[in-house]
Structure 1
């Protein structure tokens, strides 16, 4: 008997399709994203979640609510599960970012944006706090964002920052599964729920390949 965390990325938004950096911008799910959330809910309900928490941004919260309606749970909201802040890049496309900030684009460090280490610390901290509320066999679903979840998972696994790029990105309404063991958390599944397809996210490009 051990605790598990399902890290669920939100459904598609118009800005995902347009490859715009969303960050803290509160962009809603589009029609495809709503359908993705419903499909993910029907699958994840079979895991019998015992606790659901989401980012305060509506694209993640609405994804969580789709699952909550199926399993009869409430959704708690935690601002620490927000996406990485994009500073001056928010609302801009990948091409616009690359043209205006070629050096920063290569490093994927937005002017005025949030450092990856800070994101990893806050997201992993939130996941630990909520997991601590679980019974020994409980299942926590965390509805959040592509870069935020990938970085939080890396921190929760204890990976050194130099290895963080080795973990690929999460597609819309795909998920990763973590399980607590005697020596800490381990990754059971990553980017599950869909066949391999392009990932459109605020994450750095190599995490999406």
Structure 2
């Protein structure tokens, strides 16, 4: 039996540019993000028939999932383990603010992310544990179905690295744009990646 995952990221929010550590901040979709979510939902509805949608509990993912639900008819529910990374004392700060206050930790985050220790925050290893819980849950509850997961840049990267058998040290080697599409097939525990960071459906947003 093959379980198919359509893994996507929420639409644009204001803290994406200029870049801030968003983490657990409950940011609303921007006008651009709402347009992206609509275009994403139309793309998914035209290509797949999802049986269920799970989203991060944060509103930017919930609202993106709601758009997909409306277009496809599939039910959407929040899933705690899809939550964004806890950036601790970095949350809400720009990259330059973090670089000036925690230069060593900031360097580690972008050069050895698998070893980085964010002050009062979460490690990538902890994000990996949560991500594997998501995959285990989906495979147990939705075998041979098509499931949409609406997550974040960080959780999506980690899920993809796990699917590809890559070390967390490769974290920055994968891109995840807002409302991108990743397609993963899982057959008897074997992951096959069909799409990564596909965004052509967003042209004109």
- TM-score normalised to the size of structure 1? 0.86
Pairwise CA RMSD of aligned residues?
A: 2.0
Q: Distance in 2 between matches of 1:104 and 1:163?
A: 18
Q: Deviations over 1:84-143 (max 9, x none)?
A: 11001100011111121111111114211100011011022113202322242x211000
Give the corresponding residue for 1:127.
Answer: 135
Give the corresponding residue for 2:92.
Answer: 91
Give the corresponding residue for 2:66.
Answer: 65
Q: Deviations over 1:180-205 (max 9, x none)?
A: 1345112221101249xxxxxxxxxx
Deviates more, 1:127-136 or 1:16-25: 127-136
Q: Distance in 1 between matches of 2:81 and 2:21?
A: 19
**1:189 paired to 2:198:** no
Structure number having the greater helix percentage: 2
The alignment partner of 2:16 has SS state of helix
Q: Distance in 1 between matches of 2:81 and 2:33?
A: 22
Give the corresponding residue for 1:32.
Answer: 32
The number of residue pairs the alignment matches comes to: 195
Give the corresponding residue for 1:114.
Answer: 122
Q: Deviations over 1:155-202 (max 9, x none)?
A: 244333344443x1200110211111345112221101249xxxxxxx
Stretches of structure 2 that go unaligned for 5 or more consecutive residues are 110-115
Q: Distance in 2 between matches of 1:165 and 1:70?
A: 32
Give the corresponding residue for 1:51.
Answer: 52
Q: Distance in 1 between matches of 2:136 and 2:198?
A: 22
Q: Distance in 2 between matches of 1:175 and 1:106?
A: 30
Matched-pair contact (CA < 8 Å) for 2:124–2:168: no
Give the corresponding residue for 1:139.
Answer: 146
The alignment partner of 1:189 has SS state of strand
Which aligned segments of 4 or more residues in structure 1 are displaced greater than 6 angstroms? none
- TM-score normalised to the size of structure 2? 0.88
Stretches of structure 1 that go unaligned for 5 or more consecutive residues are 196-209
